[in-house]
Structure 1
Amino acid sequence: MAQTFYKHDKFLSSDKLEGRFPGTKGNNEAAAYIRKNFEKYGLKKFSNNYYQPFKLFVKPDINKMKSDSVSTQNVVGFLEGSDEKLKNEYIVIGAHYDHWGWGGKGSGSKKKEAFAIHNGADDNASGVAALLCILEELSKPENKPKRSVIFVSFSGEEEGLLGSKYFVNHLPVPKEAVKVMLNMDMVGRLNNEKQLYMGGAGTFPEGVELMKKLGENSGLNPVVHAGEVGGSDHVSFYKEKISVIGFHTGGHEQYHTPDDDIDLINFEGGALVSKYIYNALKTIADYNENLYFIKQDKEN
C-alpha cells in the first residue's frame, strides 16, 4: 500500500498539475485522475456523472486567474452496501484535492512574495492518496460493507470549504440517510511518535472508544478527541448535524508554502494511516447499532 500511496501523491503533487487551483487545467487533471480511479474500482455514479460541478469566486491577484468566477467540481461515487436494510444508510469518506496553485497576494500562501507552484503534497494530495488506497481495499468483493459508502474528493476547500458546503447542500441522497463523514486532510507527514490526530470522534455512539481500540496493533498512536471538530471539510457536515471524524498527522513549516513537496512525504506512514482509516470506515459501515449525531460542546 505504501507504493500505491506514493504513486497517487506523486502524480497529484507534481509540477505538471501546477498546484491544482480551482478553475485551472491542473485542477481538472487532478479531478480526471480521481474519476479514473473511481471508475477503475467500480464506484457507481449519481445522476450518471462522477462530477458535481459548481462555481466559485476567486479574489484578484491569485494564480494568474483571468476571471473572478471559475468552474470546478467535486468528484463523487458510491459503493452499494451488502445489507438489504442498511444499504439505505450512507457513510461518506472524503478528502479535498485542490490547493493554492501559484499562490500570490490574495491567496492563503504563507509566502505571498514567492510566486511559485504550491504543490501541496501533504495538503492535500496525501488525503486523496489515502482515499484512493482505501477505495482499492474496500472495492474487493470480500470487503463489501453493510452500509453504502460515498467517496468524494472536494474542490474549493482552501477558499472556505466551498466544495463540501456545496455537496452538503446538494446531497445525492436524503440527508437523514448520511450517518457519518470521515475526512482526511494532511495525513502524509506521520511523525516519529506515530501520532494520528482526530477530532469529532464523540459525534457518534462509542466513537472515542472505537478509535482508541482500532489503534491497538495498528503501528500508530491515535490522539483521539471527542470534540475539537477542526477546520476542514468535515465541518460542513458537522454544521448540518451529521457525525464526523477529521484525520490529520499534524502541522509543519511547509504548510501553504511552495515547499510542501513529495520528498517530505512519509509514504510508509501514509499506508499505516490509510489502513487505520480503512478499518474505521469498515467497522462503522458494518455497525449493528444505530448511528446518530451527538453534538460536542468543544467544537474547535
Structure 2
Amino acid sequence: MTATTIARAWMVRRADGMVLGFTDHDAVLSFEGIRFRPDHGMSARALVQATGLSVDNSEAEGALSDDAITEMDVLAGRWDGADVKMWEVDWTDLSARRLVFAGSLGEIARSQGAFRTELRGLSEPLNAARGRVFHPRCSARLGDGSCKLALANETFRTEAVLAGIEEERILHFAGFPAYEAGWFERGSLLVLTGGAEALGGTVKNDTALPGGGRKIELWQGLGISPLPGDQIRLTAGCDKRALTCRDKFRNLVNFRGFPHLPSEDWIMAPQAGGRHG
C-alpha cells in the first residue's frame, strides 16, 4: 500500500441482517460481498487502540438520511449494538487491505439531523458484571427466561387506540380496558401503527380517569410523537418486590431475589448479648 492510494471503508451490520458500507474514497468500492458507498452516511474518528484487553476508544458520526441511516431506525433502536468493521484499503488494488477495527456500536445520540455513536471493541463484553447479585429485589427482567411469566396474557398486556397526546410524553386514552390504577407503571409502551411505529418507552405514571379514560405518562418523549388513532400496546410493570411477584403476577415460584436477606443496617448494628452470624 502507498499513502496516496489508501482509503478507509466501514461495514455496519444490524441485528436484523441489514448491511451498509461506507468509504471516504470518492468512488464505490466492493469487496467481501459489500458495496461501500462514497457518501456521508458514516465516518469515524482516528482509532485509539491499545495492547492488552483495554477497549478501543473511538466514535463514529454521520448524517441521518432516508437512504442510509434514518432517524426512525435510530429511535427504534435498530442500530443499537450493530456490528462494525473498518478496513484500510488500497483503492487501486482492493485485495491489498487490512482490518483495523472490529466491534459494535454503543450508545447513539442524535442532534440536528445527525448522529454520533461510540465504537466498542471486541473486549467490551469483558467489562460487564458476571455472576448473580444477592439482593432483596428480583434480578430477572419481567418475562425473560428466569422470570418465565407469559406477558402475552391479556392480564399483563393490552392494546388501545390513542385519543390524544400532550408534551410529547403524556398519552390519553378513552374507553380503556379495566385495569387498576398504576398497573402499567414501570412497564413498557410500544407504538404499533402510524409514523411512530416500533418506537417505545417506559411508563412513569399510570392514572385511571373517570369514565374509563386513562392517562399514561412516559419518562421521556418518543422522539416522533404518535398521533390520535394510532394503536398502542402497554405491558404491565414490575417493581421487583417479592410481594408484587406474589400478588400481582402470581409468580413467586420464579422470584429471583432474596426477600429475607438482612439489610446492611441490621448487619452493622450492635446488639446486646451477642453477635450477628
Q: TM-score range by the shorter chain?
A: under 0.3
Name the structure where strand makes up a greater proportion of residues: 2
Structure with the larger RCO, 1 or 2 (CA within 8 Å, 6+ apart): 1
Structure number with greater Rg is: 2
Choose between structure 1 and 2: higher helix proportion: 1
TM-score, normalised relative to structure 1: 0.22
